[in-house]
Amino acid sequence: MNKDLHKPDKAWQAPDEAPFIQIEGVSKDFDGYLAVNNIDLNIYKGELFAILGASGCGKTTLLRMLAGFETPSAGRILIDGVDMTSIPPYERPVNMMFQSYAVFPHMNVDKNIAYGLKKEGLAGSEITQRVSEILELVQLSEFAKRKPHQLSGGQRQRVALARALVKKPKLLLLDEPLAALDKKLREHTQYELMNIQDQTGVTFMVVTHDQDEAMILSSRLAVMQEGQVIQTGTPREVYEFPCNRYVADFFGTINLFNTQVIETNNEVIKTRCNELDAILFASSPDSHEIDSGITIAVRPEKINLSREKPSAEKLSVLQGVVWDLGYYGNLSIYRVKTKSGQIIQASAQNRIRSATRSLEWDDEVYLSWEPTSSVVLTE
Amino acid sequence: MDIVWRRFVILAPYLWLLIFFLAPFAIVFKISFSDPLVASPPFTPLFTRSESIDFAFFFTLDNYRFLLEDNLYWISYFKSLKIAFISTLLCLLISYPMAYAMARAAPGWKNILLFLVILPFWTSFLLRVYAWMSILSTNGLINNSLMSLGIIEQPLKLLYTDFAVYLGIVYSYLPFMILPLYANLEKLNLDYMEAAADLGGRPLIVFRDVTLPLSLPGIIAGSLLVFIPAIGEFVIPSLLGGLDSLMIGRTLYEEFFGNRDWPMSAAVATILLLILILPMMVFQHYQSPQEQQEA
């Protein structure tokens, strides 16, 4: 696999690249309940775009509007420059892989996959050829004559994927594609999905509530909350530079501290955290008023643990005792309790092969991190 | 003790079938090989013992032979099959849209609609058929309204016709078609229909390709629930039908109560049972692979 095929050309950064899917001010009102609230999104050709959010955030409604099963109450959706508003699902260049897979139980694998091509009115020979090509791509050639009830969950999922992909859609929608699979199969399928997306070049849009799935799969993602998109960016941007507490907390683990600005100087702000009785540093390009309240967020893996007090300048330093210790093999997670009773999570990679631990329960430790590791949140 | 009890629980339904279905049928079957007699019981015994003969076995196929020769019976059988078949088809055509609408109704409405379907059962079946008699009769509701509106001058002959029989059967058996269809359509995953639409199927095509084949178990169950009782229906054709609507139930009744020919009616009943077993075997044939699929 080519290293960057999965993130093709970073089209969203190219200034003259026209978006392939344009979602313009789309809202959906269900009898007074605003499921989707004025969403604007541009998705580029060949992207694997993820919509991420907790259940009830409106992501499924957005997906259904793209497929044509729901009509927007306001705004419009353009695919390859064509307004989709008045186009019914059966005429859209969009196909969907349902969360339930919805593989027709009364048709064998072959017929399931050929169904969409037959509806297009293609010649029998072309149907046969395209079906056998796609069966090979999803590695189901030997199961062509099986009925869905004779397949495993993973195989049914691949039938559903093949059935949608064989139509060569401009946009493939995937509704929680991995939710029904067990852990081992999920990992395998994630990479397989990315691989298939590379090979076909079809624009994928994945809807999921699982941030790991979204991060691994997607080239870019949008985080939704209460019907609105609150942040869009690459997985790295969203993880490292979350725009607010909700996003920061939704993606993995993060320590949050409420602080007051006491000094600003050369893009490094000095803050005071009353709860911890400590001085915390953060770098921020924005200007902050003295005495204004900000939240400082720091990821566990950015925190250093040491027995001796670190002495470098502008380092945020906290003291505490090891309260809890989790050994995960590749890394260890430490939950450190400060004097004021707050629990702070830090993680360290287990680079050195050793049967004994360097830090034990109730050990006194210093936690420290660079100003650049702190994320400044004002919301 | 526990095992004995457990065995009994398993055996109970079989015992029920044995006592209330198989044993009576065996008796009917036995009588069908006798000759009628003016006696009590009114048929010849299968085995006799007398002073002169130690043991005699009497067995006749006359009833079946007669049944084959006299086309009265075949006309009745055929007429019953025809009426039952057409009524089942009409029930299906009326029920499918109703069941579909019910299955797709808002959750609050579903129970209300279901209740409305079952509601007629709260009135006696016989009473409802009598009500149709008064609606359809020469001076009934329909004729009176049509005449007072000036649409017709002479009353229409509605009662004692085949039309009335169809009306009665379809009306009476409609819930038996709606309920299994509703049960089937209600649990049908909407994703299948949406997937078919997503793949390019227009609404009617989606119905033909996906909805209809997936609701086949419901269609078969409902059709059998209508067809089987309709074939042996006695009350509706005798109350609403004309003299010529000779369905097998009525022929059987005449044979038994009119002619007091028990062996002949037993033979008619045995053949009727054979006719009914056939569609059931068809049902079994379709049912079993479907059930495997569910499992």
- DSSP state at residue B256: I
| Contact (CB<8Å) B293/A102 | no
Hey, is A102 helix, strand or coil?
A: coil
pLDDT of residue A15: 67
At B75-132, the pLDDT tens digits run 889 999 999 999 999 999 999 999 999 999 999 999 999 999 999 989 999 999 999 9
Is the CB of residue B195 less than 8 Å away from at least one CB of chain A? yes
Mean pLDDT of A134-150: 93
Across A44-178, the runs of DSSP E, i.e. the strands, are: 48-52, 74-79, 82-83, 94-97, 171-175
pLDDT band at B246 (very low <50, low <70, confident <90, very high): confident
The total of other beta-carbon atoms located within 10 Å of residue A87's CB is 15
Q: Residue A2: pLDDT above 70?
A: no
Which residue's entry shows tokens 């849009």? A205
Share of chain A above pLDDT 70, in %: 97
A134-148, B155-169, B231-245, B257-271: range with lowest mean pLDDT = B231-245
At A151-175, the pLDDT tens digits run 998 999 999 999 999 999 999 999 9
Which one has a higher pLDDT value, A205 or B232? A205
Is the CB of residue A121 less than 8 Å away from at least one CB of chain B? no
At A49-60, the pLDDT tens digits run 999 999 889 999
pLDDT of residue A9: 53
pLDDT of residue B173: 95
**Where would I find the H helices in B38-70?**
62-69
Measured in angstroms, the CA of B185 and the nearest CA of chain A are apart by 15
Measured in angstroms, the CA of A2 and the nearest CA of chain B are apart by 31
Is the CB of residue B188 less than 8 Å away from at least one CB of chain A? no
Which chain A residue has its CA at the smallest distance from B194's CA?
A: A69
Measured in angstroms, the CA of B145 and the nearest CA of chain A are apart by 45
- Cβ–Cβ pairs < 8 A, chains A and B: 62
Which chain A residue has its CA at the smallest distance from B189's CA?
A: A102
Report how far apart the first and last C-alpha atoms of chain B are (Å, whole number).
33
pLDDT band at B276 (very low <50, low <70, confident <90, very high): confident
Secondary-structure class of domain B70-260 per CATH = mainly alpha
Which range in A6-10, A183-187, B160-164 is most confidently predicted, on average pLDDT?
Answer: B160-164
Contact residues on chain A for B191, CB-CB shorter than 8 A: 98-100, 102
| Contact (CB<8Å) B196/A104 | yes
Question: Which ipTM value was assigned to this complex?
Answer: 0.83
pLDDT of residue A180: 80
How far is it, in rounded angstroms, from Cα A154 to Cα A164? 16
Q: Residue A1: pLDDT above 70?
A: no
Number of helical (H) and strand (E) elements in chain B, helices listed first: 15, 2
Nearest to B214 by CA among A109, A106, A156: A106
Is the CB of residue B162 less than 8 Å away from at least one CB of chain A? no
For chain A, the average pLDDT equals: 89
How far is it, in rounded angstroms, from Cα A350 to Cα A369? 19
At B107-118, the pLDDT tens digits run 999 999 999 999
Which residue's entry shows tokens 């004995």? B4
Share of chain B above pLDDT 70, in %: 94
Residue B263 · residue B36 · CB < 8 Å: yes
Is the CB of residue A106 less than 8 Å away from at least one CB of chain B? yes
pLDDT of residue B124: 92
Of A68, A100, A116, which is closest to B199 when you measure between CB atoms? A116
Is the CB of residue A205 less than 8 Å away from at least one CB of chain B? no
Contact residues on chain A for B202, CB-CB shorter than 8 A: 90
pLDDT of residue B210: 96
At B37-75, the pLDDT tens digits run 877 788 887 777 766 766 777 788 888 998 888 888 888
Nearest to B272 by CA among B65, B14, B77: B77
At A34-46, the pLDDT tens digits run 999 999 999 999 9
**Where would I find the H helices in B32-140?**
62-69, 71-103, 107-118, 125-136
For chain B, the average pLDDT equals: 88
- All structural domains of chain B with their residue ranges: 70-260
Is the CB of residue A91 less than 8 Å away from at least one CB of chain B? yes
Sketch out chain A's domains with CATH numbers: 11-249 (3.40.50.300), 255-377 (2.40.50.140)
Nearest to B33 by CA among B71, B10, B62: B62
Which one has a higher pLDDT value, A287 or B183? B183
Is the CB of residue A119 less than 8 Å away from at least one CB of chain B? yes
Q: At what angle do helices A183-200 and A124-137 cross, to 10 degrees?
A: 130
| Contact (CB<8Å) B201/A95 | no
pLDDT of residue B288: 59
At B163-187, the pLDDT tens digits run 999 999 999 999 999 999 999 999 9
Mean pLDDT of A105-111: 95
Q: Residue B293: pLDDT above 80?
A: no
Best of B188, B199, B294 to disrupt the A interface by mutation (most A CBs within 10 Å)? B199
Is the CB of residue B139 less than 8 Å away from at least one CB of chain A? no
| Contact (CB<8Å) B292/A105 | no
- The one-letter code for the residue type at B40 is S
Q: Residue B5: pLDDT above 80?
A: yes
- DSSP state at residue A31: T
pLDDT of residue B57: 76
Mean pLDDT of B245-261: 86
Which range in A159-173, B223-237, B243-257 is most confidently predicted, on average pLDDT?
Answer: A159-173
pLDDT of residue B294: 46
